[in-house]
Chains A and B, each alone.
Chain A
Amino acid sequence: MRYDSALDSIGNTPLVGLPRLSPSPDVRLWAKLEDRSPTGSVKDRAAVRMLVDAEKGGQLRPHCTILEPTSGNTGISLAMAAKLRGYRLVCVMPENTSIERRQLLQMWGAEIVSSPAAGGSNEAVRVAKRLAEEHPDWVMLYQYGNPANALAHYEGTGPEILADLPSVTHFVAGLGTTGTLMGVGRFFREHKPAVRVIAAEPRYGELVYGLRNLDEGFVPELYDAELIDSRFSVGPRDAVRRTRELLEAEGIFAGISTGAILHAALAQAARCVKAGEAADIVFVVADGGWKYLSTGAYEGTIDEAEQRLEGQLWA
């Protein structure tokens, strides 16, 4: 494949079969390898689409400052694109995210504002919204509410899957900004409504849910429950276990959130086997494991890894 530039190479990621993790020849699992993106995560699609749409819409002008709350991947994607296109980037990131993510952001020239660990990404969103008020000339692309986030998947990820695997029956992805699920979900609702759309939501340690009151809860503006069929909460133990199984059985070195997604995908596969239904279950490999090596998730026993992840934003 030949492209004019790295940014042009976003999308058209491989869809690979998982012959060893698939429970039977009739119930098959397929991995959409979004780690094969320029900065190594599914976020390249949304980040670059948001940036390009903001340029087209006139909100982003040369030398603008972009502001974004992010626990990592979106910031990394934006940092790369902002550097190439001549923007300054300020990322608001919870302090309990891995060191590799900070290093990558700084490498591409982003400035980091740390938000308190307690409250997780909610707190990052709050700090970013406050900064946006203080700096009205800054442009917040705001991945949680920007339609371009979902649109990147509606026009890219969804059609790619249907073209590669017309027999697809399930789509499983992580639920954060909800952009991937909303975009792909809407695509399948319109083009193949029988496809079941499944959300895997990471369940963190208690620290991350440390709200001061319940009214501080947060549901992304993009979220539309009509576009998904089931939603599963996956804790760090299952996420780590599945991340390791993916590596051992299929040779795929993925990040921890992918383990959570695989866990939900395998649950769907087990249901299909039990019901005697054939299935082609596609799940998203959101990124590779490189950025999470320092979390300790890839060494020692599952118990040790689970303990190390307590209090960290592992997805």
Chain B
Amino acid sequence: MAVEVRIPTILRTYTGGAKTVDGSGGTLAEVIDSVESGNPGIKSRLLEGEDLRRFINVYVNDEDVRFLSGLDTTVTDGDVVVVLPAVAGGQSGR
């Protein structure tokens, strides 16, 4: 199963500069493991222990996985996983 994973600028040192990489797996944790196998080192930048790092947000089809099932969130073929650093808002802080 192919899942598109979008990598933020700051983590592209691990992907040879690639903006997106393909991942596979039935859960977000499995997708991250599959991305790690082709891009060693990136997993430890996303996770701290068993959880996502505080300043890392991950969205599956635009929904924040912290409000789904976290790393156990189900991922299916064709889904888009977006990784973004947490930043201050625009207008609402904007």
Residues of chain A having any CB pair with chain B under 8 Å: 41-43, 69-74, 119-122, 124-125, 143-144, 173-180, 199, 201-204, 206, 208-220, 225, 228-234, 255, 257, 286-287, 313-315
Contacts and interface: CB of A to CB of B under 8 A. Distances in A.
B84 interface: yes
A232 B8 CA distance: 17
Nearest to B58: A233
B87 A208 contact: yes
Contacts, number: 147
A144 B84 CA distance: 20
A216 to B, nearest CB: 8
A257 B67 contact: no
11 contacts: A71-B93, A74-B94, A119-B87, A120-B87, A121-B88, A174-B92, A201-B64, A211-B85, A212-B10, A218-B88, A225-B66
Interface residues of B, number: 27
Interface in B41-94: 45, 53-57, 59, 62-64, 66-67, 82, 84-94
Given A214-B56, A217-B87, 7 more contacts: A199-B64, A213-B10, A217-B56, A232-B63, A232-B64, A286-B92, A313-B90
Contacts of A119: 87
Given A209-B84, A215-B55, A121 B64 contact: no
